[in-house]
A and B are shown apart, each in its own frame.
Chain A
Amino acid sequence: MMLTDLTIAQAAEGLRKRDFTAAELTNAHVKAIDALNGRLNAYITVTADQAKEAAAQADKTLSAGDAPTLTGIPLGIKDLFCTKGVRTTAASRILGDFTPTYESTVTANLLANGAVFVGKTNLDEFAMGSTNLTSAFGVVENPWRRNGDDTPLVPGGSSGGSAAAVAAHLAMGATGTDTGGSIRQPAAYCGIVGLKPTYGRCSRWGTIAFASSLDQAGPMTRTVEDAAIMLAAMAGHDAKDSTSANIAVPDYRAACGRSLKGLRIGVPAEYRAPGMSAELQAVWDRGVAMLREAGCEIVDVSLPHTKYGLATYYIIAPAEASSNLARYDGVRFGDRREGASLNELYERTRHDGFGEEVRRRVLVGTYVLSAGYYDAYYLRAQKIRTLIQRDFTQAFESVDVLLTPTAPTAAFGHNEKPEDPVQMYLNDVFTVPASMAGQPALSVPVSLDSTGLPLGLQLIGRHFDEETLIAVGSALEKAADFTARPTFRAGAAA
């Protein structure tokens, strides 16, 4: 078995048993990145030198004993997290060669836990997108291919670089951020596990903001257990983020393999969207059967405001983004285009610095907050958001976890993207409601479709009950026994 094939749990054990060193583990990943990143473009920045230094340090810590869990584990970091001394781009031209003097709380937590960062992963510009086609640093290729078809596919988004890196074994795990599905959807497209924790579980400090009331960092890994291990290291209260929850971080890993006897699994009727493929419906049904088999009771539930989720999301998220992105003005950091006046400087800097999708969302957001439109759009969207939150609260009175598909389709080709941006937004239809309500949600790969591409199912849990989510997720993972691996991966490159 190659070192890059190990899970985080296995590698942590191997390191402690001295089966191999952290240096060897990191080198194996750096080599894999060298071999494959040219093709997959999963990383914007590879930090091989820093990674090797960190691995050497990890080996010292390991030989001293009592090393924290992630000591020596090579991780990819979505390039939305500010990393001290390492260029941070948000996949946008506007940040130029911005190099933070500070470390985001989440990455600082991971570093304190001993993790080794091998690089900054690609994403949709400012995390706005579901394809990784909007990155200023080029598209990411999904490591998977359809059977007998070499068409390059999208990895999903926005955390597409992280998903591709983990799927191709270019990192043992990666951080993602999820605003409307940006962890879960690419996890499903790339056949890996993605966990969006409860809003407030991980600090947002030092993570470049897209939509503040929705953004949440989480782990992307190849197993549910690995996600549990990483989340435990990432999460925790942070006085620097007023929306961070002051709730103790439990032992998530202990929830793996926990008995599901007596748990009630809700199947929301509204997620049976018209036009859902028979194949996806079948995967969902299989998931239901697996959980029933594992001892769960299956309950039909209703989340009546689901159909408004997407429209509401595409008002609230752009509204917040239009304000959050105002600071990228070329005055204090990042790229600047000079102008004859201050307004011209702003216009040129922002026109040239932002890509088309970001500009579109800033314009939409500005529009829905404008005098005369605020009540009709933003305020109404907030009201519906409250109703969506109430849907979940009511559903969780009778069930413990909800089971739905993660995305309406499997990954599609770079050239098969819908022309109409609104069609594109439909990709988020199953992931957005949980984001709007701040619920934790987990995507687990369950099977391949008829073309050989992975499909994932989504579990949605109660606020701050990631443990139950992890318990159910690990049972689903075990039952599904998803062992397929992508075409492009470390040691198996075509």
Chain B
Amino acid sequence: MTYTLEGATGTWEIVVGLEVHAQVISQSKLFSGASTLFGGEPNTQVSLIDAGFPGMLPVINHECVAQAIRTGLGLKAHINLESRFDRKNYFYADLPQGYQISQFTHPIVGSGVVEIELSDGSTRQIGVTRLHLEQDAGKLLHDQDPKRSFVDLNRAGVALMEIVSEPDIRSPEEAGAYLRKMRQILRYLGTCDGNMDEGSMRADVNVSVRKAGEPFRTRCEIKNVNSIRFVTQAIEIEAMRQIEVWESGGSVDQETRLFDPARGETRSLRSKEDAHDYRYFPDPDLLPLVVEQAWVDELKAHLPELPDDKRARFQTEYGITAYDSGVLVAEQAMADFYESVAKGRDGKMTAAWMTGDFFAALNRTGKAIEESPVGADKLGGMLDLITDGTINGKIAKEVLETMFETGEAPLEIVERKGLRQVTDTGAIEAAADEIIAANQDKVEQYLGGKDKLFGFFVGQVMKATQGKANPAIVNDILKKKIHG
């Protein structure tokens, strides 16, 4: 699907690369023992190391290294057994050491790939250039005092993975799909919670435009965009701005820009001339980070199944469609739920109920699947009642709804409400006789060719049995009786 923008001088295509900053899930920070919990009182999760006190030294947290390697493996990327930490030097009040420890020349993870799927069902491979580990900065609070700014160092020193994509992205939709896929992979791996609203996943967006067949033109970097929707908006707005600049005879300057969603514009933050000279050099406080291939292999062996693999497996193992399977693997918890229901049951039927009435009920109650009042065992139990003929599909909808309300087990509801399916042909025959007798005119019409009226008779019998009749038996009996 080719995405282009129309300018006054013709058609433009856009070129986008994304830098994702993903906060690593770990108990403690990248180089200190301080906790990483989100939402603590300001400056309560700060060690002397994070605050840059004299004589303090960083010590690498191996869990963060493991998380970076897991992520690299999840991105099908090359793991560098030897990597290095560098200092990125600049002054700012949220950066206590006066430098950020990062990996500049020797990142822990090399090139990888992310496969994205677009709305038309097509897929594309987006290259990942590299992934490296670095420290997050603290946070400045400007709204606490009219004159002064405060600093909260809780986040200072928390491990981040910076995941840099190749400039392979060609539309806002692809950028959105890439970020969703990245977030899905990170969540599956348990290496980042991917919550963009809490800032634990953020994106810098590099945008340029060009005419078809041209080499890349100058790009601009839009910093710290904090939702997928804003990323797609920012790309479109920035691309249009650049097209206008080029078409009015100007040229785009390489610079860092900010996206203002309220005004729907990007604004220059600093030009290339004002760009920091970060004076990167190897951090002499840290030895090169050397990991053993055996450890990487072990991490790989314990890697959870990734979304693409799971999706493929669901299709073959449970015979469900690519679409359903895509919906079900969107979140790990959903996929786990599906599997524990589908195990030993009809996979297609499970998928139909989950993506249908079950998700609808979750949506209605505003609950995530982890908080569902109806667990996998109850949903499975309900499906079993359908399969063994205790209830029919229509009654099952009622049972599901009651389960959501009361949390009762399905059989309990069936018994309490007397919802067992009527398979007693005598009772159904009696109901059918009554209805045929009362609606002779409709019988005539039906026999005269109005086939659709058959549904009327079925509905009436079901109504007379409070919906509990076995629909197949009702069909049989009615056909026999009407046709004689």
Contact = CB atoms under 8 A, between A and B. Distances in A.
Interface of A: 81-82, 88, 90, 95, 98, 100-102, 104, 204-209, 211-213, 239-243, 319-320, 322-323, 325-327, 329, 331-333, 342-343, 346, 366, 369-371, 374, 378
Contacts of B59: 239-242
A241 B48 CA distance: 14
A18 to B, nearest CB: 38
9 contacts: A207-B55, A208-B55, A243-B285, A319-B281, A323-B279, A323-B281, A332-B53, A370-B279, A378-B281
A327 B98 contact: yes
B99 A370 contact: no
A374 B287 CA distance: 21
Contacts of B96: 327, 331-332
A212 B97 contact: no
B97 A370 contact: no
A337 to B, nearest CB: 15
Contacts of A90: 54
Interface in B187-228: none
Interface stretch (B67-75, B86-94, B456-464): B86-94
Given A100-B54, A326-B99, A331-B96, A370 B281 contact: no
Residue in B58, B96, B284 whose Cβ sees the most chain A Cβ within 10 Å: B284
Contact of B287 (A205, A211, A242): A242
A326 B54 CA distance: 11
Contacts of B441: none
Contacts of A88: 54
A326 B91 CA distance: 7
Given A213-B284, A326-B98, A327-B98, A204 B52 contact: no
A323 B54 contact: no
B367 to A, nearest CB: 44
A388 B55 CA distance: 28
Given A206-B56, A326-B89, 8 more contacts: A88-B54, A104-B55, A204-B57, A205-B55, A243-B284, A243-B286, A326-B98, A327-B54
A385 B56 CA distance: 26
Nearest to B286: A242
A101 B56 CA distance: 12
A323 B89 contact: yes
Question: Which secondary structure dominates chain B's binding surface?
Answer: loop
A262 B280 CA distance: 48
B54 A98 contact: yes
B118 interface: no
A272 B99 CA distance: 41
Tell which of B48, B51, B56 has the most Cβ of chain A within 10 Å.
B56
A333 B51 CA distance: 10
Contacts of A322: 89, 279
Contact of A329 (B53, B55, B98): B98
> A-B pairs with the 9 shortest C-beta distances?
A326-B98, A369-B279, A212-B284, A213-B284, A327-B52, A206-B55, A208-B54, A82-B55, A371-B277
Given A212-B285, A242-B287, A346-B91, A323 B55 contact: no
Interface string B88-117: 010111001111000000000000000000
A331 B97 contact: no
A370 B54 contact: no
A371 B93 CA distance: 23
A90 B93 CA distance: 23
Given A323-B89, A331-B96, A371-B277, A242 B284 contact: no
Contacts of B97: 326-327
Given A369-B279, A370-B277, A241 B57 contact: yes
Contacts of A101: 48
A234 to B, nearest CB: 15
B291 to A, nearest CB: 15
Given A323-B281, A331-B96, A240 B57 contact: yes
B312 interface: no
Contacts of A346: 91
B151 interface: yes
Contacts of B52: 327, 332
A329 B57 CA distance: 18
Contacts of A104: 55
